Amino acid sequence: MYNVVLSRRNMATASTLRSMQMKALKLIATAGVLTAGLLPTLSARAADTVVFGAAGSSALFNVFAQGASTASGASNNYSAKNAAVVHDTSSASIPDQTGNLWVVWDGAPSGSRKIWFYLSVDSTVGVRSYFNSAALSFTTLPAAGNIVPNLPPDSTVPADVQTAIKNFVFNAAATDITAPDAEQATSDAQTLGYSLTNPIKGDGGQVVPVSFSLTARTYVQTSIGADPVLVFVNKSNTAAGHLGASTVTNIDRFTLAGFLNGTFRRTSDIDTSIAAGGGPVVTFFREPISGTYQTTEKTIPASVEAATTQEKNISATTNNPANTTTPAWTSTSPIVTTGGRVRAIGTGQLVKDVNLTLDGLGYAFWSTGNFSSTNAGSTKYLTVDGADPLLDSYSAGAYPAGSSVTFRNVKNGGYPIWSKLRVLTPTTPAGDIATLIADVLATDSGGDFVPATSLKVFRSHFATGGVTTPHNGNTAAAEAGGDAGGAVFPINADKDYYTDTGLELVGSKQ
């Protein structure tokens, strides 16, 4: 009996052991499944980091690429024209906006890289992309184009870097007008009659004024520097009576306003040495939501003095795309018998159009890239009201090398068409973003813009774009409101006025 009981006890014990063994095996198997399931998750957590993903102004495109290259500590970069788009999902009706792209990545292994990228569109599209939480999008990146000067030769973008930047929501915007100015420009364009169903059309494509709210995301505007808008002409015909003649060196602001609003259209309207009835001039102008347009518009035709506009006699329905030349100007047959105006979409397109049009005239923000010999070799720039935007003394309108640019008349406020360049970020720049900005300022390549620390003047800020209390940003309060076309004062004057009165020099316009 004892033996039987013992046997049963052993049998029970064996059964228990088998049960425990089965449970253990199940636990081991489950642990294996869990481990197998966790491995991809753990692997996915080791991800590349996009430090800076911006859309915005062509004026800052090159210098931020150079700064990112320095910040990366490696010679890993890519750039190409029309490589990607802004994809804005705030409305299904918003078309994608194409732009030039650069990408920089550091030397870390895949899965732990730092990445910087920038899509060049225009300032307002960049600002809108930030506030509407739009994303970078592309199907397949084109072959590297080496479009950014002063960088190592381009490389192919690694697969993991492409994955990191594709569909990445922009975390910065680069702009040559304030965010409130960009919001106001959008509203003004819509008032003119442009919309999602009636885009602003011109040579090179079309853009739409898309609404956005300045309260959709927090933002801090950091001043990078200041940049002049150059007025430039085609210099190919150097004969008397044409804009390439050596006598054509300057245009005053009221004459320039007349060309921009369509009043003037002959070479003799610029140069008094040319007899009345001179040859036709084709004036190329930008779209209303462009930062370049807004800076030029508010400081020249729409200034307090001139009180006109580039949209004079332009209808959003009957002049869209705007082309008032006779016969109608085309890029394949650019010679016309009667001058007029042609809208061009984007800085690159406008520079290209002036470059191929005899006696063409236009304007664009200065950068060594925008006015390279490849892009603008058939053009020269003019002084405005006798003030040279780039050099201490005018030299036949030849574009100087970056290291020789002094910006004297921008620094002292004597040149009338300029604006501050800014970058929008969610918070005050720190860490890698602060390093990037420092590297941008340090690697300015000697002449793409006036660093903020070298600028002695500012433009008076005013209420616009939903901002009711403007601030210049020189005293205790952070910059607020618009300044496109604001009157120019010394920074010290604003500080002294604030010390003496507790007030700022706000509300004054050029």
Closest CA to 380 of 401, 402, 395, 365: 395
Amino acid making up residue 497: Y
DSSP conformation class of 403: G
**Is 479 in contact with 436 (CB distance < 8 Å)?**
no
With residue 479 as reference, give the H or E element that holds it: none
In this structure, the number of other CB atoms found within 10 A of the CB of residue 70 comes to 16
Cα angle 63, 64, 68 (rounded to 5 degrees) comes to 120
CA distance 447 to 445: 6
DSSP helix/strand/coil, 280: strand
DSSP helix/strand/coil, 442: helix
Could you tell me which residues come within 8 angstroms of residue 276 by beta carbon, excluding any fewer than 6 positions away? 268
Amino acid making up residue 355: N
Q: What is the pLDDT of residue 445?
A: 52
DSSP conformation class of 59: G
CA distance 404 to 392: 10
205: left (phi over 0), alpha (psi -120 to 50) or beta: left
Q: What is the pLDDT of residue 149?
A: 87
DSSP notation for 339-356? -EEEEBSSHHHHHHHHHH
Secondary structure in 3-state letters for 209-265? CCCCCCCCCCCEEEEEEEEEEEEEEECCCCCCCCCCCCCCCEECHHHHHHHHCCCCC
Q: To the nearest 5 percent, what fractions of the chain are helix, strand and coil?
A: 30, 25, 45
In the numeric block, the tokens 């590349």 are attached to 48
Helices and strands of the chain, counted as H and E runs: 12, 18
* Helices 291-299, 179-191: inter-axial angle, 10-degree rounding: 80
- Structure token pair of residue 203: 């040579």
Closest CA to 186 of 246, 129, 147: 129
CA distance 85 to 135: 8
- Structure token pair of residue 425: 């970020």
Q: What is the pLDDT of residue 46?
A: 59
**Is 367 in contact with 227 (CB distance < 8 Å)?**
yes
CA distance 486 to 92: 36
Q: What is the pLDDT of residue 446?
A: 63
Regarding beta strands 97-105 and 114-120, do their DSSP bridges make them parallel or antiparallel, or are they unpaired?
A: antiparallel
**Beta partners for 418?**
228
CA distance 244 to 236: 6
DSSP notation for 73-120? TS--EEEEEEEEEEE-TT-TTPPPEEEEEEEEE-SSPTTS-EEEEEEE
pLDDT in tens, the chain (510 residues): 333 333 333 334 444 434 444 444 343 344 343 333 333 333 334 599 999 999 999 999 999 999 999 999 999 999 999 999 999 999 999 999 999 999 999 999 999 999 999 999 999 999 999 999 999 999 999 999 999 988 999 999 999 999 999 999 999 999 999 999 999 999 999 999 999 999 999 999 999 999 999 999 999 999 999 999 999 999 999 999 999 999 999 999 999 999 999 999 999 999 989 999 999 999 999 999 999 999 999 999 999 999 999 999 999 999 999 999 999 999 999 999 999 999 999 999 999 999 999 999 999 999 988 999 999 999 999 999 999 999 999 999 999 988 899 999 999 999 999 999 999 999 999 999 999 999 999 875 568 999 998 999 999 999 999 999 999 999 989 999 999 999 999 999 999 999 999 999 999 999
CA distance 444 to 80: 21
DSSP conformation class of 306: T
- Structure token pair of residue 244: 């390439």
How far is C-alpha 175 from the geometric centre of its chain's CA atoms? 5
Q: What is the pLDDT of residue 364?
A: 98
In angstroms, the Cα distances linking 219 to 186, 230, 423 are 19, 30, 10
DSSP conformation class of 445: T
DSSP notation for 191-214? HTT--SSS-EEEBTEEE------T
